[in-house]
Amino acid sequence: MGIKKIIAPSMPEAFQKVKEEVGEEAVILSSKVVWTGGVLGFFKKKKFEVVAVMDDDNKLPEIDPSPVLTETLDHIEQEPKDYEKSLLLELAELKEMVASSQKTTDPDLAVYPASIQKALETLLDQELDERHVAKIGERLLDSWRKAKKEPSEKEVIQEAKKILADQIDQLDFSPSGEKKFVALVGPTGVGKTTTLAKLAAHAALEEKKKVAFITLDTYRIAAIDQLKTYAGLLDIPVEVAYELEDFIKAVESFADYDQVFIDTAGRNYRDAEFVQSLHNILSMENDLKTFLVMGVTMKERDIMPIMDNFQHMSIDRLIFTKADETKVFGSMVNIMLKYNLPTAFVTTGQDVPDDIIIAAPELFVDFIFGDGSE
């Protein structure tokens, strides 16, 4: 008695193979649906596995047909039209996938239907990390398969936006609580001083708080003059701290103020020792909120070492500046998700106190899909 395992795209083809390879008198021992092939975990194909045997003595073993076999036979015998319709639908889906694979120049996207390719191309063009794009693609493909009719490109984009927002929303964007001291740290040229002035102006003009400035950026005369200009316009006092003792005195002099905004030097943020020394100066941890300021225009590979050095310093939130100077916004999402650190504000220009937006997951989705970048 020889046992033979047959795998075929459909049950009728499996039976035909059994007849050809085992014989007309073959007995079906079992049958089941199996999934084979696929690309990157997608588009696995449904096939039917049949185990058959030829009894050399023409003695047929007494067995019950498997549930899958019985169901399949009933399906074929009782509802041939529905079965054919199902096969035609699967064939149409396969043809759509093949046609779609020819509509992109990116080989990594060729496994997706055309409407999904468009959404994923947008994400890749925005330099969103490929791992995040793959997760979004997987969820889009799952929704595409479950849809009663093929989703339009617009519907796929809307679904992609929702999925991206869900990914970003894993971070905690809820208000982190008020602190008396607010410090901005970050590299030179990202607009810390202007951003500090925007925050101070909002506190003074909108919230009617009594506020003050302290600057530790004594390496650039222009930065001191700039902060003094903003202080004069807002009628806010400013202290320049050249040494640690100056900083301590400034803190003491503003004891009765509601909020004190601290500007810092933008040098040597790749130097871990400099970051540690700054951390030692900003030692009022229980009453200090620290924002790390990065420019959206910065290259992601330049941001990474700065972020790594600041892992030893308590950073409450990020602030991204200069969103008006680029059309590519994926790095903001990449940084937030990599370091599990939400963004508090995004700035979109130089105007004080305007051109600053409170951050939320939907804001980054709009930037990336073109709804908030103009």
Tens of pLDDT, residue by residue over 239-254, are 998 888 888 899 999 9
Is pLDDT of 78 > 50? no
Order the strands of the 181-185 sheet from edge to edge.
238-240, 211-215, 259-263, 181-185, 288-295, 317-321, 343-347, 356-358
Question: 41: burial class by Cβ within 10 Å (0-12, 13-18, 19+)?
Answer: exposed
Give the pLDDT confidence score for residue 275 in this predicted structure: 62
Region of residue 15 (left: phi > 0; alpha: psi -120 to 50; beta: else)? alpha
**Cβ-based neighbours of 254, under 8 Å, separated by 6 or more:** 212, 214, 237, 239, 260
Tokens of 354: 């305007």
Structure token pair of residue 58: 């023409």
- What are the residue ranges of CATH 3.40.50.300 in the chain? 181-369
Paired with 2 in beta bridges are 54
Give the residue with greater pLDDT, 369 vs 111: 369
Q: What is the CATH number of domain 181-369?
A: 3.40.50.300
Q: Which residue has the higher pLDDT, 25 or 321?
A: 321
Tokens standing for residue 150? 């093929």
Say what the pLDDT of residue 207 is: 94
Q: Using pLDDT thresholds of 50, 70 and 90, give the confidence band for residue 169.
A: very high
Cβ pair 129, 330 in contact under 8 A? yes
Confidence bin at 158 (pLDDT 50/70/90): very high
Q: At a CB cut-off of 8 Å and minimum separation 6, what does 284 contact?
A: 181, 251
Q: Is the pTM of this model over 0.95?
A: no
- Confidence (pLDDT) at 129: 94
Average pLDDT, the chain: 81
